[in-house]
């Protein structure tokens, strides 16, 4: 697997390469009251297309931004001018928040070379690099989706893992939410954690919008009791920061990392899901 991060310097050098596609995957929690698409139209990195996490999603469920069926994903990103053979560089305007989610989605759908821009839009802008405004329209392409089930876990797979212990389960939420000490930000959800989970709060993994060096990440996971030599599944509130955790685990040398797509929004919303506090 290719190195999943690229630097702003690398992107500046390769921005005009015909097989490089830049994707603005900015997304914010509802409480932020920010409109990422409106902000994209106002200013974005040169040539970037906008990926709407809540738009390119499974519309048959009330769970937020779940992976759509492969054919629907392929149609949507193909219309953006993206092929599975492109080098897809994903960034967001928080530095490192929602971009890993879309990196994971492309990876799960068979993209051969999906990357995340280290530091995202804030680092690019801080370096005084060029931006542009308005919608970017690329020539449509065919994206041949090839779903990788090894990167995705659903509810019943997660339930089985609580019994079989076949994967290490790691929660990206805050320690207070992991322990069930504070209400969940989404109303109606139970508090607590998936039984047998370990906790690595996602805010430990980055600084100033950039992922910490691999050596620091390894130390963080070791301190939390996460054995990176074993298969791992990550979860969070709705599958966004779980993807950042998956990215960090890969950077720390973990070889088999999946994401529980429904995450706590699904688990904590089910009456029959076992909960540990």
The values of phi and psi at residue 44, to 5°, are -150, 170
d(CA 129, CA 203): 27
Catalytic residue IDs: 236
d(CA 276, CA 240): 22
Question: Is the separation of the CB atoms in 24 and 91 below 8 Å?
Answer: yes
Question: Is the separation of the CB atoms in 88 and 106 below 8 Å?
Answer: yes
Q: Which helix (H) or strand (E) holds 90?
A: strand 87-91
d(CA 37, CA 42): 9
Q: What angle do CA 89, 263, 109 make, to 5 degrees?
A: 35
Task: Please write down the HEC assignment for all residues of 187-207.
Answer: CCCCCCECCCCEECCHHHCEE
């Amino acid at each position: 697997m290719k190195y999943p991060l690229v630097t702003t310097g690398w992107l500046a050098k390769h921005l005009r390469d015909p097989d490089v596609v830049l994707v603005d995957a900015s997304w914010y929690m509802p409480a932020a009251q920010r409109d990422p698409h409106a902000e994209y139209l106002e200013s974005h990195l040169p040539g970037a297309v906008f990926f709407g996490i809540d738009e390119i999603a499974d519309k048959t469920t009330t769970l937020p931004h779940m992976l759509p069926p492969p054919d629907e994903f392929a149609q949507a990103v193909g219309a953006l001018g993206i092929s599975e053979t492109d080098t897809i560089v994903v960034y967001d305007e928080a530095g490192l928040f929602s971009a890993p989610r879309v990196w994971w989605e492309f990876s799960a759908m068979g993209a051969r070379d999906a990357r995340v821009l280290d530091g995202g839009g804030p680092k690019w802008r801080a370096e005084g690099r060029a931006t542009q405004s308005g919608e970017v329209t690329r020539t449509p392409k065919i994206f041949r989706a090839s779903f990788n089930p090894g990167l995705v876990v659903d509810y019943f797979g997660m339930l089985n893992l609580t019994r079989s212990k076949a994967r290490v389960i790691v929660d990206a939420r805050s320690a207070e939410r992991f322990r069930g000490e504070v209400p969940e930000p989404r109303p109606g959800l139970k508090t607590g954690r998936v039984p047998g989970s370990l906790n690595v709060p996602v805010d430990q993994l980055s600084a100033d919008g950039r992922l910490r060096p691999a050596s620091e990440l390894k130390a963080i996971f070791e301190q939390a009791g996460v054995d990176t030599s074993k298969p791992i599944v990550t979860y969070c509130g709705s599958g966004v920061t779980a993807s950042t955790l998956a990215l960090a685990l890969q950077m720390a040398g973990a070889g088999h990392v999946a994401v529980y797509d429904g995450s706590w929004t699904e688990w904590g919303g089910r009456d029959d899901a076992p909960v540990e506090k």
